[in-house]
Amino acid sequence: SSITIFNWSMGLTIASLTCLLFVPNILTHYRTINFIKKADLILQSICFISGVLLGATVTVIHFYLPQELVTLPDAHILIALFITSAHIIGLTFLTQQPRYFYLLFIPSTLPLLIAQFTHTPVNQLPFYFAYNIAFIATILCAYATQRNYQKISQLLFRNKQLIQISEQHTQWAEELCVQLQQEVNKSKDIEAQLQFNNHLLEQKVRERTYDLTKMNEQLESHHYNLAFANETAGIRPWDWDIENQKLEITFFDQQKQTQTTVIHLNTILDRVHPSDKKLFNERLKQHLEGITDHFNINFRILRRDGSWRWIHDVGRVITRDPKTQKALRMVGMTRDIHQEKKDQEHLRLSAIVLEQAAEGIFILDEHLNYIDINPYYEKLTGFSKSELLNKELFSIAINQKELQQQFHTSITQQLLETGEYMGQFDEKFSSGKSVYLWLHINVVKDEFHQITNYIGFARDLTEQKRQEQHLSYLKNYDSLTHLPNRLYYYNQLHQYLVNPSYNIKNLALIRVN
């Protein structure tokens, strides 16, 4: 049985040592990111199992082999060979990771270390002494080998860093050389550009001198144009010397010559309309005291012919006393807005008429879309103004039948061709209202005869139509029996006689009272 155990332990030990020689390289070669932890566990397991097998083999050789098979010195030689071989392999391949080495080293040496304290014959003391020396030497060698490996790794890492830094510095140097060359090229370009700019500057000076001459001529021409524009717009610039209460008004005559008239301020104030004088004085006082940023007012002034004219006056103080902040000089302009006021009043009256008219009024654009309506048209259609704006003329009606749609299309076509439509018809709106409508639409053109708008008038004739139908009914039907009367009879008989579609050749008539 001892020989069998020896054979098995020897075989397993040799197999484990073989794994230690080849498996680490194989696992390292096929190691990936996902396989790192598994490979580490496999290597630790192999080291530990190999150490246990070595310890078991050493125990079998030392304690269980019979003396007649292997003598004690031979057994010690075999133990030394096994332990030395295993430790050499461990020092060679496993000291890079200390835990691998110690997983192999400790299980293989632990049995004999324990045996020194449990079974120590005198004749084996030299062996145990040598074994302890080898144990300590192996640990020291492992420690020294690990330190050397760490130093070598640090040196390799530093060398790698130095190489990277050197490569980076080399790259920087090349970039600096490129930048330096670019700067040299730029300096040459700048020098050439400066020479070119000098030539251009000389040319520009000559051109500028010529342009200034032309500008002076243009300024004089613009002065005349400004005078004409001010005269056309009715603008009169003014300059008020507040200390002396004198107002200088500049205007332009028909020859475009500047004329300046000096008027005392009281002369102007006496001509302001009595209803506007209070507001005029308040706003002027507020601006002179610095309460408002500028003076702005519309007021009426008396003309020499005795009529009142509306004018717009705008001004601002441009000079004040540095200590007291009292206004010293004020400039501004006056514009005649009498015609604008009349136009505004006319527009206001037109708007009132549009709002209060007793029939529907609407305005369409050139594409027959609503752009404005009055309140009566809102009431007539059942839609609000916001609902009708930008809608097409007949988009608010319900086209229940194809005939109704064709009728709307014919009205639109007539508008586009002739620019006018007037007629009466039944209309039902999508708001739910149904009316008998009188509609009149006219086109509006600009001075170039281009269509700009359409103006329409609409009236609700539903009640009038109902009364007409009622009168026609009373005319043709008896009010008591609601049967056709004699007039209806005569009309129908006349239609039978004169209408060729009935094709009457023989006719018999019976009349009873």
| pLDDT tens, residue by residue, 205-257 | 888 888 888 888 877 776 666 666 666 666 778 888 887 778 777 765 444 44
pLDDT at 136: 79
The partner residues of 319 in beta bridges, in order of sequence, read 329
Question: What pTM does this model have?
Answer: 0.41
DSSP letters of 261-294? Answer: EEEEHHHHHHHB-HHHHHHHHHHHHHHHTTSSSS
Taking a C-beta distance cutoff of 8 angstroms, is the pair 341, 369 a contact? Answer: no
Closest by CA to 495, choosing from 482, 512, 480, 476, is 476
Equal fold, 234-343 vs 362-461: yes
The partner residues of 311 in beta bridges, in order of sequence, read 299, 336
The label of the residue with tokens 């005291």 reads 289
What parts of the chain have a pLDDT lower than 50?
253-257
| Other beta carbons less than 10 A from residue 444's beta carbon | 13
State the CATH class of domain 362-461: alpha beta
pLDDT at 254: 44
DSSP letters of 388-444? Answer: HTT-BTTTTB---SHHHHHHHHHHHHHHHHHSEEEEEEEEEBTTS-EEEEEEEEEEE
How many Å apart are CA 180 and CA 57, to the nearest integer?
A: 75
* Three-state DSSP class for residue 443: strand
pLDDT at 29: 63
pLDDT in tens, 327-336: 888 888 888 7
pLDDT in tens, 486-513: 888 888 888 888 877 776 677 778 878 7
pLDDT at 227: 63
| Other beta carbons less than 10 A from residue 244's beta carbon | 10
Angle between helices 98-118 and 72-93 (to 10 degrees): 160
Closest by CA to 112, choosing from 68, 47, 63, 53, is 63
Taking a C-beta distance cutoff of 8 angstroms, is the pair 454, 363 a contact? Answer: yes
Angle between helices 98-118 and 36-59 (to 10 degrees): 20
**Which residues does 251 contact at the CB level (< 8 Å), separation at least 6?**
230, 231, 236, 258, 259, 261
At 228, which amino acid appears?
Answer: F
**Which residues does 399 contact at the CB level (< 8 Å), separation at least 6?**
405, 408
**DSSP-assigned letter for residue 64:** I
How many Å apart are CA 102 and CA 232, to the nearest integer?
A: 111
pLDDT at 257: 47
Taking a C-beta distance cutoff of 8 angstroms, is the pair 298, 337 a contact? Answer: yes
Torsion-angle region of residue 308: left (phi > 0), alpha (psi -120 to 50) or beta?
beta
Give the tokens for residue 45: 């397991």
Taking a C-beta distance cutoff of 8 angstroms, is the pair 310, 337 a contact? Answer: yes
**Which residues does 77 contact at the CB level (< 8 Å), separation at least 6?**
none
At 396, which amino acid appears?
Answer: I
Q: Which long-range contacts (CB under 8 A, 24 or more apart) does 498-507 make?
A: none
**Which residues does 98 contact at the CB level (< 8 Å), separation at least 6?**
142, 146
Distances (CA, A) of 230 to 225, 301, 336: 9, 20, 11
Which of 3.30.450.20, 3.40.50.720, 3.30.70.1150, 3.30.300.30 is the CATH number of 234-343? 3.30.450.20
Tell me the domain boundaries of the chain. Answer: 2-119, 234-343, 362-461
pLDDT in tens, 92-139: 767 667 777 777 777 877 777 777 777 666 566 677 777 777 777 777
How many Å apart are CA 124 and CA 72, to the nearest integer?
A: 9
Taking a C-beta distance cutoff of 8 angstroms, is the pair 462, 435 a contact? Answer: yes
DSSP letters of 225-243? Answer: HHHHHHHHHTEEEEEEETT
pLDDT at 369: 92
pLDDT at 474: 84
pLDDT at 442: 92
CA 23 to chain CA centroid, nearest Å: 62
Helices (H) and strands (E) in the chain, counts: 13, 11
Count of alpha carbons within 13 Å of 465, Cβ hemisphere only? 12
How many Å apart are CA 224 and CA 204, to the nearest integer?
A: 29
Taking a C-beta distance cutoff of 8 angstroms, is the pair 24, 43 a contact? Answer: yes
